[in-house]
Amino acid sequence: MNERKQIFPGRETLKEVYDDPVKRKKMWYILAILLAIVIVFPKLVPVLSSMEIFTPEEEVVVMQADAVVLQGELLDNKISSTGNVRAIQEVELSTEVSGKVIGLHINEGSEVERGELLVKVNDNDLQAEKTRLESNIEMMEETQARQQQLFERGGVTQEDYDNTLMQLNNLQAELASVEAQIERTEVRAPFNGIVGLTYISDGAYVTPSTRIASLQDMNSVRIDFSIPERYSASVMSGNEIRFEVQGVDSVFTGEVIASEPQIDPRTRTLQVRALAGNEEGLLNPGSFANVELILTTYEDAIMVPSVSLIPDAGTYKVLIVENGTAREQIVDTGMRTRNHVQILNGLAPGDTVLVSGLLQVNDGEKVEIRNFQNQ
């Protein structure tokens, strides 16, 4: 081998290094170190492997979220519908005979009592006939009284007395007929109520088809509404209703009194009627009503915000917090309101349910409640 062959290009040859005492000493020193490393390193590997390597602890991030503490509350199973307000009794006043009005005793908007005379139609001819019959009856009654005395003494035959008695009875029957016709010329209030607007004047000619006025008893009102066919088996007399009408800032209550025995085949709905008090006179017949029919009332229903529900393979789950840790809970749902859902199984009063951060929080993770919302 050529002694001048360079070990590394651009560096001294091995002979040049060896011939120089300083460089030779330095070379032996480097070789000794390399040899020590080769001998000692395999023995250090197990020791180094068994030593714990300390690293700074990673900071644990705790998710913040809002939650609600569940409480039992009152829940109504109800149906919403629309209906009409009607007076408990109402009638359109009209006459039974044609003729000229000779007495109009109606004050528009006033209260009247049952039997009070409201309209009188001309009955002069009937009154004259009544007077004639009353006079004839008076004379015939005197004749009948005399003949009865004679009959008892044998002064007249049975046939003569019976003829006199028959004539008297005929006159009384004619008088009753005339009085009935006179009664038909009068329009009287059939019940206590309030008279509306009148559509005739004194002296007008009226017929049975002439509209005179309306009479309404508004101490109570009826609310007529309809419900879908599927609820027909659930409604019954005594069910409570709540309703509102336009123009009145109040919620009224009533009670179902009856329903139709059959479903309307055209609309597939059931007609229902409820009764409500109207002592203050705030409800006017004909008003449009927004009705809520209460079918069932739950005293201690568990309700959670709709945003808390997480769909899970055909069911629902929520995240509840226990000791600062989130836990998934499968639940059974029931009724729904605008913003809440009834929980039938899976939760109890006092449970803390998350209402925010549902996508960021996983089962078993630490959670810090940032804010408790009102249920």
Q: Domains in the chain: how many in total? A: 4
The verdict on 264 and 331 lying in the same domain is no
In this structure, is residue 59 part of a structural domain?
no
Regarding whether 263 and 191 lie in a shared domain, the answer is: no
Q: Are residues 42 and 134 in the same domain?
A: no
pLDDT at 9: 46
Confidence of residue 14 (pLDDT cuts 50, 70, 90): low
In this structure, the answer to whether residues 284 and 312 fall within a common structural domain is no
Cα 252 from Cα 47, distance rounded (Å): 87
pLDDT for residue 41 is more than 80: no
Residue at which a domain ends, from 268, 298, 328: 298
pLDDT at 12 over 60: no
Residue 192: per-residue pLDDT: 94
pLDDT winner (highest mean) among 4-13, 50-59, 81-90: 81-90
- Position 7 pLDDT exceeds 90: no
* Same-domain check for residues 195 and 114: yes
* pTM to 2 decimal places: 0.63
C-beta neighbour count of 40 within 10 angstroms: 9
Distance CA 30, CA 21 (A): 14
Q: How far apart are CA 188 and CA 77, in angstroms?
A: 46
Give the strands of the sheet with 205-206, arranged side by side: 186-188, 117-121, 99-104, 205-206
- pLDDT band with cut points at 50, 70 and 90 for residue 33: confident
Q: What is the domain extent for residue 13?
A: 1-54
Please provide the average confidence, as pLDDT, over all residues in the chain: 87
Of 174, 206, 238, the residue that ends a domain is 206
CATH code of 261's domain: 2.40.30.170
Are residues 217 and 194 part of one domain? no
Q: Which two tokens stand for residue 207?
A: 């017929």
Q: What pLDDT, on a 0 to 100 scale, did the predictor assign at position 373?
A: 80
Query: Do 323 and 269 reside in the same domain of the chain?
Result: no
Residues 99 and 6 both lie in one domain: no
Q: What is the largest CA-CA distance in the chain?
A: 196
**Cβ neighbours of 331 (radius 10 Å):** 24
Asked if residue 289 lies in contact with residue 82, where contact means CB atoms within 8 angstroms, the answer is yes
Which two structure tokens, joined as six digits, stand for 257? 């009194």
The answer to the question of residue 226 being in a domain is yes
Give the CATH number for residue 330.
2.40.420.20
Q: Contact 185/97 with Cβ under 8 angstroms?
A: yes
**Domain stops at, among 275, 298, 321:** 298
pLDDT, tens only, 192-208:
999 999 999 999 999 99
Give the pLDDT of residue 11. 52
The residue type of 6 is Q
User: How confident is the model over 107-155, as pLDDT tens digits?
Assistant: 999 999 999 999 999 999 999 999 999 999 999 999 989 888 888 888 7
Please give the pLDDT value at position 267.
93
Domain match, 196 and 112 both: yes
**Does residue 177 lie in a domain region?**
yes
Nearest-angstrom CA–CA distance, 294 and 255: 10
Flag whether 147 is in a domain: yes
> Are 116 and 197 in the same domain?
yes
* pLDDT tens, residue by residue, 198-235: 999 999 999 999 999 999 999 999 999 999 999 998 89
Is residue 48 very low, low, confident or very high in pLDDT (cuts 50, 70, 90)? low
For residue 244, pLDDT over 80 is answered with yes
Residue 56 has pLDDT above 60, yes or no: no
* 109 & 187 share domain: yes
Output phi, psi for 342, to 5 deg. -75, 135
CA distance 278 to 307: 41
pLDDT at position 45, please? 60
Distance from C-alpha of 59 to C-alpha of 38, rounded to nearest angstrom: 41
Confidence of residue 51 (pLDDT cuts 50, 70, 90): low
Q: Which range has the worst mean pLDDT, 307-311, 348-352, 358-362?
A: 358-362
